Amino acid sequence: MAIKVAEYLGQRTDVDDINIIPVQLGENHQCPFMDGHCSKLSKKLQPVCSVRKKSGTMWIVCEHRLCATPKTKVIQIEGKDKRVAAVLTPHQQKILWDIAQTVYRGQFEQSDIVVNREAPIPIEETGGKYKADYIMRNLAYGAKIDEILLEMQGGGETSETKKISDHVASWSRQENPTNEYLRTELAKPNTIETNAWRRQQEQFLVKGNIVNQTGGKIVFAIGNLIYDYLYPRVSRANLRDLKEHNWTLCLLGIKEDLSEPAQSGPIPLTIDNERTLFTNYSTFVRTLTDQGGPEPSIFQGKFLSLTGEDVEI
């Protein structure tokens, strides 16, 4: 249990060519990963985008870091806030194009791939609705695979978050704040993979079921740590590899791109080709929900009667 701050407002901390400059909480600063201001700063939170575990593995802690979904942003026009359309940044375009090249077959161009961000998904029974992170379509002529619901979960929360915030605040107050100080290892905080998956489960199951019945496919792009948390729970079922056939569910691991030497700026991301699973959605869900077996011992042992006596069964 130990982590380091890996990125601060889109600047990686493990390169010392340029010292990262602290910014004031509450200020407006451009987010490096989407067309809009950093949402953490606007909430007066430290703009930490990602952290590293002791193993060196990256864990995303900002909802907009992997591939942000907001389709609008607020700008000032004549002293007034106005909401306008947000464009896809080069970072978002790269992530989405990498995903498209992994899940689609055949010949297609970037111009053939279209997305709808935060698309509403109505729920007939309750009258409510969910939102898909992305609906992706492949408009290339003769495309064998087209309609995809794409969900993103690069990481999640950490324990002892205040210790991370306090450390960053301490760094920002230094007379000469250095990247080395900012990336100091913190002993107590840790990543919480279980919470990241639990938050996704209901939406994953409901949205996936709707898309599956509609004839589409669901792609779940997740950080490596979440993939490694999920995979053992389904690997025992020996799910069939349907990549070249009629798959309806795809898990895509996202990892740090180590193909080039580290340089100042954001940590580059890429698809982890060793962590991909193309299979059947219904089989995957049954495997997730069908865990455990008969265990009579849970109804044996020491019990306490409602009148206060110990009872051995």
Residue 210 and residue 216: Cα distance in Å, rounded?
A: 9
Residue 230's H or E segment, with its range, is helix 224-230
**β-bridge mates for residue 311, sequence order:** 303
Q: What is the pLDDT of residue 271?
A: 97
DSSP state at residue 155? B
* Cα torsion 179, 185, 257, 279: sign: negative
- Local structure of 298: helix, strand or coil: helix
pLDDT at 248 over 90: yes
- Phi, psi (rounded to 5 degrees) for 198: -60, -40
Residue 121 has pLDDT above 70, yes or no: yes
What is the rounded distance in angstroms from the CA atom of residue 103 to the CA atom of residue 101?
6
pLDDT for res 79: 78
- Mean residue pLDDT across the chain: 92
Mean pLDDT of 78-101: 93
- In whole angstroms, give the CA distance from residue 194 to residue 191: 9
Category of 29 on φ-ψ map: left (φ > 0), alpha (ψ -120 to 50) or beta: beta
User: Distance between CA 67 and CA 163 in Å, rounded?
Assistant: 27
Strands 148-153 and 217-223 come out as parallel
Q: What is the pLDDT of residue 127?
A: 66
Q: What beta strand segments (E) does the chain contain?
A: 3-8, 11-12, 48-53, 58-60, 72-77, 80-85, 113-122, 129-138, 148-153, 217-223, 249-256, 269-279, 302-304, 310-312
pTM of the model: 0.91
Q: Enumerate the β-bridge partners of residue 148.
A: 136, 217
Q: Is 110 exposed, middle or buried (0-12, 13-18, 19+ CB in 10 A)?
A: exposed
| Separation in Å, CA 231 to CA 58, 70, 177, 271, 278 | 18, 29, 40, 16, 12
Cα 196 to Cα 254: distance, rounded to the nearest angstrom: 15
pLDDT in tens, 49-68: 999 999 999 999 999 999 99
| Separation in Å, CA 267 to CA 164, 169, 230 | 19, 22, 24
Q: Is the pLDDT of residue 124 over 80?
A: no
- Residue 235, pLDDT > 80, answer no
